[in-house]
Amino acid sequence: MESKIILVRDEFTAELEKAENSADLEAIRVKYLGKKGPVTELMKGMKDLTPDEKKAFGQKVNDLKSELTEKLTEKTKFLKEQEILKEIESMPEFDISMPAALGEGSYHPVTLVQRECERIFKTMGFAVEDYSEIVTDYECFEALNIPKHHPARDMQDTYYLENGQLLKSHTSAAQNAIYKKYKDALINDGVPIKAIFPGRCFRNEATDACHENTFFQMEGVMVDKDISISNLIYFMKTMLSEVFRKDLKVRLRPGFFPFVEPGFELDISCLICGGEGCPSCKHSGWLELCPCGMIHPEVLKAGGIDPDEYTGFAFGLGLTRLVMMKYGIKDIRDLNSGSLKTLTQFIDE
Position 216 contacts ligand PHE (CB under 6 A): no
- Asked whether position 198 contacts ligand PHE by CB under 6 A, the answer is no
Which listed residue (42, 68, 227, 292) binds ligand PHE by CB under 6 A? 292
Q: Is residue 315 close enough to count as binding ligand PHE by CB under 6 A?
A: yes
Among the residue ranges 42-50, 55-63, 310-318, 319-327, the one whose residues contact ligand PHE (CB under 6 A) = 310-318
Neighbours of 43 (CB within 10 A): 14
Closest to ligand PHE by CB, 34 or 147 = 147
d(CA 9, CA 121) in angstroms, rounded, equals 74
Answer for the pair 314, 176: CB distance below 8 angstroms, yes or no.
Answer: no
| Of 127-135, 159-167, 186-194, 291-299: span binding ligand PHE (CB under 6 A) | 291-299
Q: Where are the beta strands (DSSP E) in the chain?
A: 127-128, 134-135, 166-167, 193-202, 214-224, 250-254, 260-269, 286-295, 311-317
Minimum CB separation from ligand PHE for residue 169, in Å? Answer: 7
Whole-number minimum distance, CB 262 to ligand PHE, in Å? 10
Interface residue with ligand PHE, options 117, 243, 260, 319 (CB under 6 A):
260
Q: Are strands 311-317 and 260-269 parallel, antiparallel or unpaired?
A: unpaired
Name the segment binding ligand PHE (CB under 6 A); options: 41-49, 68-76, 90-98, 289-297: 289-297
Residue 159 Cβ vs ligand PHE, minimum distance, rounded to whole Å: 16
For residue 298, CA distances in Å to 5, 138, 182, 302 come to 79, 13, 17, 6
Quick one: 61 or 196, whose CB is closer to ligand PHE? 196
Residue nearest to ligand PHE (CB): 316
Q: How far is the CB of 317 from ligand PHE (least distance, A)?
A: 8
Closest CA to 178 of 137, 152, 139: 139
Question: Is 314 a residue that touches ligand PHE (CB under 6 A)?
Answer: yes
d(CA 263, CA 313): 10
Interacting positions 164-183 with ligand PHE (CB under 6 A): 170, 172
Stretch that binds ligand PHE, among 5-13, 64-72, 285-293, 328-336 (CB under 6 A): 285-293
For the CB of residue 174, give the shortest distance to ligand PHE in the complex, in Å.
10
* Among 250, 244, 231, 232, residue whose Cα is nearest residue 116: 244
Nearer to ligand PHE, 78 or 234 (CB): 234
Backbone angles phi, psi at 258, to 5 degrees: -60, -20
Q: Shortest Cβ distance from residue 154 to ligand PHE (Å)?
A: 12
Report yes or no: 267 and 260 within 8 Å, Cβ to Cβ.
no
Q: Which is nearer to ligand PHE, 12 or 126 (CB)?
A: 126
Q: Is 13 helix (H, G, I), strand (E, B) or coil?
A: helix
Does 293 participate in binding ligand PHE (rule CB under 6 A)?
A: yes
Q: What is the SS3 assignment for 81?
A: helix
Is position 257 an interface residue for ligand PHE (rule: CB under 6 A)?
yes
291 binds ligand PHE (CB under 6 A): yes
| Cβ atoms of residues 146 and 152 within 8 Å | yes
Interface stretch with ligand PHE, choices 4-12, 129-137, 182-190, 309-317 (CB under 6 A): 309-317
Report if residue 303 touches ligand PHE, rule: CB under 6 A: no
The DSSP string of 14-65 is HHHHH--SHHHHHHHHHHHHSTTSHHHHHHHHGGGS-HHHHHHHHHHHHHHH
Q: How far apart, in whole angstroms, are the C-alpha atoms of residue 174 and residue 135?
A: 9
179: helix, coil or strand?
Answer: helix
Residues binding ligand PHE (CB under 6 A): 170, 172, 219, 257, 260, 263, 291-293, 314-316
